């Protein structure tokens, strides 16, 4: 009697010629997967971008509360400068807090020579978790430490790591003056306390829903002192950045100067400052329907 075949039943009907995929079939499958991935990737990165925007908006809402507590207690908005006792010389030094209104201690020297300690920052007592001052897209900027730089100096990868704060208090409009401009810049605005919110009463702000309270560097130019008499401008992009983040000439940069903003009324929103920055890189502070940077003197 013939022994039963060992070939499994399912093999009996299959054609011997069809045991594997052909190269062509494999290529077609790979191509289809490639198309699907390329369709999916942009929407994934859009989700990522929205999540990071949302993180900053959430941070700003909490920072807005810290400002409210400060104003309730002091009757006015925080100053843009504070005095700090220098531990080495035991003398009082005035330091700007526009880049450090809250957050954590700056990195060691030379950063701590420029930025004040966390406990001396105006919002320190009101901030709760200091991480609300960290932007997830913080890529730093080269305009941070002024000349003269120490020989072993290297720029840290984020403003958070340098200063202990990613966001900027809109209390000192920055940007190098352009001597070739005609007409000249409006007086008493740039690099000045006049017209800004520092130490102003709550009632001073006419349109709190449009007045910028906190922003990120992409919204405005930064300057870096490179000698006793010369400062060079930088424009930075964070939230839509691909590749480079610092530009000496914003008109050749990709048009993505996007920054989440905290307004005086406590609401936060993401705004695109590209048009303002491109139109007048040295002075992107003209008001639009969405925002006001400063109020002219009355």
CA distance 173 to 191: 5
Name the one range near Zn ion by CB under 5 A: 38-46, 49-57, 91-99, 282-290: 49-57
Mention every residue, 6+ apart, whose C-beta is less than 8 A from residue 9: none
Query: Phi and psi for 229 in degrees, rounded to 5?
Result: -110, -5
Given a contact cutoff of 8 angstroms between Cβ atoms, the answer to whether 105 and 126 are in contact is no
> Dihedral of CA 138/142/143/147: which sign?
positive
Nearest distance in Å: CB 189, Zn ion:
25
Compute the distance between CA of residue 159 and CA of residue 166 in angstroms, rounded to an integer: 5
Instruction: Give dist(CA 188, CA 179) in Å, integer.
Output: 15
The CA dihedral of 196, 197, 202, 204, to the nearest 10 degrees, is: -10
218 secondary structure, DSSP code: G
277 binds Zn ion (CB under 5 A): no
Query: Rule CB under 5 A: is residue 165 a binding residue for Zn ion?
Result: no
Instruction: Based on the shown chain and the rule CB under 5 A, indicate whether residue 262 belongs to the binding site for Zn ion.
Output: no
User: Segment contacting Zn ion (CB under 5 A): 56-64, 75-83, 91-99, 195-203?
Assistant: 56-64
Q: Based on the shown chain and the rule CB under 5 A, indicate whether residue 132 belongs to the binding site for Zn ion.
A: no
Query: Do 264 and 253 contact (CB within 8 A), yes or no?
Result: no
Question: Would you say 143 or 217 has its CB closer to Zn ion?
Answer: 217
User: Which CB sits closer to Zn ion, 56 or 214?
Assistant: 56
Only segment of 94-102, 132-140, 168-176, 219-227 that touches Zn ion (CB under 5 A): 132-140
137 vs 197 by CB, closer to Zn ion: 137
Minimum Å distance from CB 258 to Zn ion?
9
> Is position 99 an interface residue for Zn ion (rule: CB under 5 A)?
no
**Site membership for Zn ion, residue 56 (CB under 5 A):** yes
Nearest distance from C-beta of residue 273 to Zn ion, angstroms? 13
Least Å distance between CB 52 and Zn ion? 7
Q: Dihedral of the CA atoms 203, 205, 209, 211 (nearest 10)?
A: -160
Distance between CA 95 and CA 115 in Å, rounded? Answer: 7
The residue of the chain with the least Cβ separation from Zn ion equals 135
**Nearest distance, CB of residue 219 and Zn ion, angstroms:** 11
* Binding window for Zn ion (CB under 5 A); candidates: 135-143, 146-154, 182-190, 204-212: 135-143
How many residues line the site for Zn ion (CB under 5 A)? 3
Closer to Zn ion by CB, 63 or 82: give it.
63
Output 101 or 137, the one with its CB closest to Zn ion: 137
Query: Residue 96: what are its φ and ψ, rounded to 5°?
Result: -70, 145
Q: Are 282 and 182 in contact (CB under 8 A)?
A: no
**Binding-site member from 82, 104, 135, 268 for Zn ion (CB under 5 A):** 135
Q: Which residues bind Zn ion (CB under 5 A)?
A: 56, 135, 137
């Amino acid at each position: 009697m013939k022994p039963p075949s060992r070939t499994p039943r399912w093999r009996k009907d299959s054609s011997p010629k069809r045991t594997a995929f052909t190269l062509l079939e494999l290529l077609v499958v790979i191509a289809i997967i490639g198309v699907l991935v390329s369709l999916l990737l942009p929407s994934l990165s859009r989700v990522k971008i929205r999540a990071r925007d949302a993180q900053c908006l959430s941070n700003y809402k909490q920072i807005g509360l810290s400002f409210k507590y400060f104003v309730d207690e002091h009757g006015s908005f925080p100053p843009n400068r504070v005095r700090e006792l220098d531990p080495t010389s035991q003398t009082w030094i005035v330091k700007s807090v526009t880049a450090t209104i809250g957050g954590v201690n700056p990195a060691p020297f030379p950063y701590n020579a420029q930025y004040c300690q966390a406990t001396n920052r105006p919002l320190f007592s009101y901030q709760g978790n200091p991480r609300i001052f960290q932007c997830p897209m913080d890529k730093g900027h080269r305009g941070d430490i002024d000349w003269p730089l120490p020989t072993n100096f290297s720029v840290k990868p984020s403003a958070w790591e340098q200063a202990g704060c990613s966001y900027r208090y809109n209390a000192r409009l920055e940007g190098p003056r352009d001597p070739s401009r005609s007409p000249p810049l409006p007086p008493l605005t740039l690099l000045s306390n006049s017209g800004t919110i520092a130490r102003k009463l709550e009632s001073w702000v006419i349109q709190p829903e449009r007045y910028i309270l906190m922003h990120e560097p992409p919204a405005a130019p930064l300057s870096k002192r490179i000698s006793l008499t010369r400062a060079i401008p930088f424009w930075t992009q964070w939230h839509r950045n691909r590749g480079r983040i610092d530009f000496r000439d914003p008109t050749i940069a990709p048009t993505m100067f996007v920054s989440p903003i905290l307004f005086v009324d406590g609401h936060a929103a993401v705004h695109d400052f590209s048009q303002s920055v491109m139109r007048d890189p040295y002075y992107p502070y003209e008001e639009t329907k969405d925002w006001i940077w400063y109020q002219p003197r009355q």
